[in-house]
Amino acid sequence: MKQKIRTALISVSDKKNLSGVLKTLNKYKVKIISSGGTYKSIKQLGYPCTEVSKYTGFKEMLDGRVKTLHPKIHAGILHDRSNKKHIQEMNKQKFPSLDLIVVNFYPFQKIVTNSKNNKEIIENIDIGGPTMVRAAAKNFKNVLIITNKSDYSDLINEIEKNKGKTSLNFREYMSSKAFGLTAYYDAMIANWFNHKLNIKFPERKTIFGRRFKQLRYGENPHQKSSIYVNNYKDKELGLNQLGGKDLSYNNYNDIFASLEILFSLKKVAATVIVKHANPCGVAINKLPIISFKNAYACDPISAFGGVIACNFKVNKAIANEINKNFLEVILAKGFEKDALDLLNMKKNLRIIDISKYKQKKQTVIKIFDGSFLLQEKDKFIFNKRDLKFVTKNKPTLKELKEIEFAFNISKYVKSNAIVLTNNFSTIGIGAGQPSRLDSCKIAVQKAKQFQAKKIKNSIAASDAFFPFADGVQSLIDAGVRIFVQPGGSIRDQEVINAANKAKAKMIFTNIRHFNH
């Protein structure tokens, strides 16, 4: 059903690109109503316009808080043109129909990102705009709602194609976009209040997001996918791609996994290599190139086609090391020009500058079919005052620093997790096994394959307790001599006895780091 546009109400915070719309409406003799700054802009552009206060006969009040909240406006939007009773009531009140509403909201999103003034932020919570949008979107059978200037060209084409009218399909589509916007806008406001009041787990949780990019496909080619930004600055991710193919779903998944680990390693040059969301090499060193080489040496086969994240600037020497191998993505805090020239020789390598990337969220969400889990991020490693030195031999202060490094990495490995380290570099990682013994065997196998000389006197970190002594014994047999684990098994003493028998050192943290 096509609907002729006779009267339009335009009230926009962002007044850009209005001239094309006004020109088209003027061509089809559409009467325009507007208010405040929008009214002035329309008049300045040379088009006839009636001010809302004149149209309603009611002067705006409360510093503009009340202007479009009037029965003449909302009845004009909401009445059903096919309902005789509605028509009679409209005629009795002498209220004309409003057929097109063009509205965008007060810039709450922009103000939140640029101001800490709560009064200013609250004043930029729009009331009249969302109310009109919801009314028009509900009555899409009769009214067209436009909420984004990016839709102006589609609006113009629709009017031109239908000679001053709009189709039901177009009105319904714009209605769906409008309700998406009002939900998004309200979700941002609700989340701002939750943050302000330190409410981490509200009774009702709304997740807002703007589509950043439609991806070629999801985890597999038969799955469709897009990436969304869940932030008030929703037009950027802080990832500046300098070269290579477009990022895929799996690339993004590994990128964010690697950045979580990278940002937990501070004050020293760190390199993180991730494959299928699991770390397969992590190292820190005062020399960036040593950090890079050590991380890669942990498991070069798994690193094939992986993601590498560095918290330092990549120079030519490191770029040469990168180019020796096949990688999907390299993330770093900047690239020297000659390094970038070298890396760009590999056309498929995604090169990303993370200098402006900032971690913003303190919670993680896992979404299922009809529910989702929300929890705080696992930012804690352990409290040094709560450590229990359960074996006869005790670690040195230097060893404690590397114990902390190893236990921190275990947080980011899929459970059951076993991480072997030597000199602040991972040398073997066992991930994601239902049996902790199997994870121990995999970690040892990896270490023997690539870092055999470093297994002796290495450190083993376990994300949860050893339920039996067999896992510890397999690591002792391989050469591990320092263990860090939460403790808490009914067989803890058996595990401690095995460590003591080998003259190994073991620490209980009383902190578990499951990562499912």
Active site (catalytic) residues: 138, 276
Using DSSP, state whether 453 is helix, strand or coil: helix
Q: Is the Cβ–Cβ distance between 460 and 439 less than 8 Å?
A: no
What does each C-alpha distance from 416 to 382, 433, 441, 502 come to in angstroms?
Answer: 18, 5, 12, 24
**CA atoms of 9 and 286, how far apart (whole Å):** 63
State the DSSP code for 425: B
The single-letter code of the amino acid at 468 is F
40 class by beta-carbon count within 10 Å (0-12 exposed, 13-18 middle, 19+ buried) = middle
173 class by beta-carbon count within 10 Å (0-12 exposed, 13-18 middle, 19+ buried) = middle
**Which has the closest alpha carbon to 474: 516, 511, 436?**
436
418-421: strand order across its sheet? 388-389, 505-508, 482-485, 459-462, 418-421, 426-430
Q: How many CA atoms lie within 13 A of 17 on its CB side?
A: 12
**CA atoms of 368 and 391, how far apart (whole Å):** 43
Q: Does residue 117 have a cis bond before it (omega within 30 degrees)?
A: no
**CA atoms of 122 and 99, how far apart (whole Å):** 31
DSSP assignment of 108-174, as one string? HHHHHHH---HHHHHHT--SHHHHHHHHHHHTTTT-EEE--GGGHHHHHHHHHHTTSEE-HHHHHHH
Pairing of strands 505-508, 165-166: unpaired
**CA atoms of 35 and 11, how far apart (whole Å):** 6
Q: Tokens 């684990």 label which residue? A: 485
**CA atoms of 292 and 326, how far apart (whole Å):** 15
321 class by beta-carbon count within 10 Å (0-12 exposed, 13-18 middle, 19+ buried) = middle
Q: Is the Cβ–Cβ distance between 101 and 138 less than 8 Å?
A: no
Q: 71-78 vs 84-93: helix axis angle to the nearest 10? A: 150
Q: Which long-range contacts (CB under 8 A, 24 or more apart) does 198-207 make?
A: 200/362, 200/363, 200/376, 201/374, 205/374, 207/365
Q: 128-138 vs 168-196: helix axis angle to the nearest 10? A: 140
